[in-house]
Amino acid sequence: MAISYITDMRDINGTPITPEHYNDQMKVARHADDLGYKTVWVPEDHCMDDGFCPAPLTTLAAFARETKRIRLGTGIIQVPTMHPRRLLEEACVVDMMSNGRVTLGVGLGGYELEYKKFGVSWKERGKLMDQYLDFIKKGFAGEPLPDGMALAVPPVQRPIPIIGGTKSLAGTERSARIMDGNIATNHMDHEERLAKFWKEWLSPSLEKYERKVSEFQLPLMMTVWASEKYMDDWHEFLGAGFAYRKNKYEDGFEKVGTDYKGASYQFRDWDEAEKAGAEKMVSRMYVDTPKNVAARLKKLRTIYPFSELIINKVPGIPQEQFIKQLTLFREQIAPIVFPETKSEG
């Protein structure tokens, strides 16, 4: 099945993390595995106090022992702030523990503060990315490593797939040049923004490096919620989750002023949408009835040919509600959006 989900491992809107919360996340992963979901993705973030996962490969190692079929993806891991041998070795261990289910989603990260705390040059991040990926790819393929030393635990997959998560033209071209796919992320105004991303960045990059779309993975990570009472859900927990994330990261990382200088575009979007009211914000997102979500996603694939849909677990969603959502997507939406995979799982 071509539907996946992503969890940053936070609890509801800043609630302190406990062992019980992590145990609950294992239950969600097992449920998704039983449903036949393709991948559970875990991102990486640092220097915040609300439980956002700082160690995706460690987390995926736990998921590896709790599941049987679902793939395990870093979505994304911040490559330049980690020594390439350390990243290579940890990914290979998780691949061994899962019997070959790892996908390494990689990126530069979005916050200069994190680089400062790790003592890594923000200006050199692109150069470091290329150098480190060369090291990692050689290890994944079983080739001699640039440092001349052995790899203690080889991967099961030869090679482990590497997918780039990009927010720039240079990053998109890097995905097309040396990776197995590209993760697109979008939360609002999907048709307009994904059409532009495809036509102006990704499609030309694939052509430039003579990559076939059919052989290139195109996961799409987005906030999507299907419910017959979607506006009630928005007012009850979805909207609060969005407001929490925006305000938390404005204060913690972006330091957004009235001119939004240096801020991610989404903060401007969410500020404007909040001021316009919930109804107008929801209309710009994929928060709708199951029938409408399925139809809209099917149409979106004609605009942006995503091969995998990654459902974003907004921090405000209660676990029991998210488990029900995963089941609904498996039963009502996946067969319509990805009819080519009906016979799977």
| Number of Cβ atoms within 10 Å of the Cβ of 256 | 18
Helix (H, G, I), strand (E, B) or coil at 162: strand
Residue 3, class by beta-carbon neighbours within 10 Å (0-12 exposed, 13-18 middle, 19+ buried)?
buried
Q: Delimit the domains of the chain by residue range.
A: 3-237+287-337
| Tens digits of residue pLDDT in 236-268 | 999 888 778 777 766 655 554 555 444 555 666
Q: For 154-193, what is each residue's pLDDT tens digit? A: 999 999 999 999 889 999 999 999 999 999 999 889 999 9
pTM: 0.94
Q: How far apart are the first and last CA of the chain?
A: 7
pLDDT tens for 33-78 read: 999 999 999 999 998 889 999 999 999 999 999 999 999 999 999 9
Whether the CB-CB separation of 135 and 105 falls below 8 Å is answered with no
Greater model confidence, 229 or 260: 229
CATH superfamily of 3-237+287-337: Luciferase-like domain (3.20.20.30)
Residue corresponding to tokens 């995926």: 60
H helix intervals, 36-160: 56-66, 84-97, 112-118, 125-140
The full DSSP string for 229-269 is THHHHIIIIIHHHHHHHHHHHIIIII---TT-TT--HHHHH
Question: pLDDT, tens digit, for every residue of 197-214?
Answer: 999 999 999 999 999 999
**With the C-alpha atoms ordered 311, 314, 315, 321, is the resulting torsion angle positive or negative?**
negative
